[in-house]
Chain A
Amino acid sequence: MNAALQLLRELGLPGGAPVVILAALAATGPVVLAVLTLAGFQVYIERKVCAFMQNRIGPLHCGPQGLLQFTADGVKLLLKEDLMPAKADAFLFRLAPYVVMTAALLPLAAIPLAAALTVTDLDTGVFFVMAASAPGVIGLLVAGWASNNKWSLIGGLRTAAQVASYGVPAGLAVLSVALVAGTLNLRNIVEMQRGHLLLWNIGNPILLAAFLLYLTASVAECNRTPFDLPEAESELAAGFHTEYSGLRFGFFFAAEYTMMFVVSAVAVSLFLGGYHLPFGNSWLARHADLAGRAVLAGAHGAGAMALLAGLAIGSWAVAPTRLGFLWRAIERIPRKGVLFLGTGAAVALGVFFIAPAAGPRLVMAAGNAVGTVAGERAGTFAATLIRLPLRFASYGVPAVHLAVFLGKTLMLLFVIMWLRWTFPRMRIDRMMDLCWKRLVPAGFAIFAAAAFWLVIRSTP
């Protein structure tokens, strides 16, 4: 948010509350959009990981290696009929998905994506993350009740019991980190882990145990296998979202994956050094600009290609009904034209990234060669225009940080998926036993050990 505010000030806009709120929205919007896109992409990863573990191939036909499957799925969810049981409580049935989604997205505000890219640098930090995701349970419980269906109701009840119970060990693990770090502020916790691999919190044996505890408890909080009893399909149809279809079901689905992203991101920040590289942080500081440019160029290129491909596949998915005319128009473009367009796009991308270096000099040189006022002006104008991408390049360290952070988070997400496809579902009573008789005492032991370790460390 601070970065957005600074940008607004530089653009010469007046300060004041409305502008602050706009800046907050401007800063939050891209993060939310990015995470929602990532949630879609996670579905693809999940299906591929699952297929790999079951010796299958997985999605293959939509895009290269089935990479665009999730866009087609999204369009499909968007176009499906929105059903509601006749005897359902209409208001609560409609309300529930929004509550779940809001609670899943809100914690993102406090997670530091890079040293200079924290949407809000909150002092309550990790506590805010836990508080903001807490009301989500209400949404799940209400969804189960409003469906007016016994399986949904039991699913909702199981969720409430499970999330309330597993919140205790998760909280204890987080507390241990907060105790050792001496702060709740996530960015400060991450900054303390700067340096190399062993300085991460996970390098401390006590906090390594806390990490495993947190991972277990948060998998349960996300209702993921082996703790997916709220939607145990062999007993409860699909649990609390049995009666949901179309976009409302999509909300629950996206919220689950967003929650997974959030708990992984929190675990990365608390235990795995956040956005810091495992080594070579000083090297990064020296070469940040170059590395940042490379990462940014890659991100822009990948983003542009994903956008183009997404549009193409989206129009293909809805071709027979809505956008048929568009598809027919595309079909009418001869192959040579497609080639031409693709080349054009690649050239434009290349110019965008090469222009900052060579552009203004060329124009100025040309202007000087012509030797007129207009030539000089053109040169100055080009230089001003070109300062914009250069500004981006000055965000080199944040870009690398962001890449490192996302890489670590994706790795942790893979671990969570790995768990899902290798463990069978637990029985409900065993799951509760595991939480209250094993994880909670373990949490207290870790917490006490962390406190003990702090005392020993501070006594010379």
Chain B
Amino acid sequence: MTALSLLFWLLFIAVAASGFATVLARNLLYAALGLALTLLGTAGLFLLLHADFLAAVQVLVYVGGITVLILFALVLSADVLKKRDAPDRVNLFLGAVTAAGTFFFLAREAVRVAQRLPAAVGGFQPTTAHLGELLLGKYVLPFEIASVVLVVTMVGAVMILRKELEG
């Protein structure tokens, strides 16, 4: 077993375990922290795939941004520590079916994509400059549309909140 595959399995265990912790934790704060660990582990997997920029984005946006927002909301609520009942059977069944279905389709798609990919290229190639050229060259229109959509969403959220505060 090479060191890389050892790293992969360690990350895999970390991601899977923290994923389960996210779903199964009774304490909401632990669930959110499990989510943070899952996202960090995924960033590690990105690094193993030589996607250094993507890994940095993952940590900055998802761990440093979104998880912090979730934690912020959870910490403000007094219900975090309240003991919650186990989900009833119907919900448990529906949840299990949804999870299994999603997993099945994603796994099938992942295997299909993996077969079409070219064989691994030896050595580490930095991706940042190339990504930048693609985003501001070939894919500049989708990139700009995405940023406009995000700005509209942000302004819309502020407007809705404002109406609620005034009304």
Contact = CB atoms under 8 A, between A and B. Distances in A.
On whether the two chains bind one another, the answer is yes
Given A131-B64, A160-B68, A124 B56 contact: yes
A351 interface: no
A17 interface: yes
A446 interface: no
B3 A141 contact: no
B36 interface: yes
A160 B52 contact: no
B68 A130 contact: no
B3 A21 contact: yes
Contact of A141 (B4, B30, B56, B75): B75
Contacts of A123: 52-53, 126-129
Contact of B60 (A16, A131, A183): A131
Interface in A137-188: 137-138, 141-142, 144-145, 153, 156-157, 160-161, 163-164, 167, 183-185
A160 B36 CA distance: 15
Interface in B24-77: 29-30, 33, 36, 40, 52-53, 56-57, 59-60, 63-65, 67-69, 71-72, 75-76
Contacts of A137: 64, 68
Given A145-B75, A183-B129, A134 B53 contact: no
Given A92-B29, A124-B52, A157-B76, A164 B60 contact: no
Interface residues of A, number: 33
B53 A138 contact: no
A138 B71 contact: yes
B115 interface: no
B91 interface: no
A227 interface: no
Nearest to A140: B68
A128 B57 CA distance: 9
B57 A131 contact: yes
- Interface of chain A: mostly helix, strand, loop or mixed: helix
Nearest to A121: B126
A236 to B, nearest CB: 15
B71 A135 contact: no
B143 to A, nearest CB: 15
Contact of A135 (B36, B56, B127, B128): B36
A132 B69 CA distance: 17
Contacts of A131: 56-57, 59-60, 64
A350 to B, nearest CB: 45
B3 A17 contact: yes
A395 B166 CA distance: 66
Contacts of B126: 123-124
B69 A135 contact: no
B67 to A, nearest CB: 7
Contacts of A352: none
B68 A141 contact: yes
Contacts of B69: 164
Contacts of A135: 36, 40, 59, 63-64
16 contacts: A17-B3, A123-B127, A124-B52, A128-B52, A131-B59, A131-B60, A131-B64, A135-B36, A135-B64, A138-B63, A138-B71, A141-B75, A142-B29, A142-B71, A157-B75, A163-B68
Given A92-B29, A123-B128, A135-B59, 8 more contacts: A17-B3, A123-B52, A124-B56, A124-B128, A130-B60, A131-B57, A131-B59, A142-B71
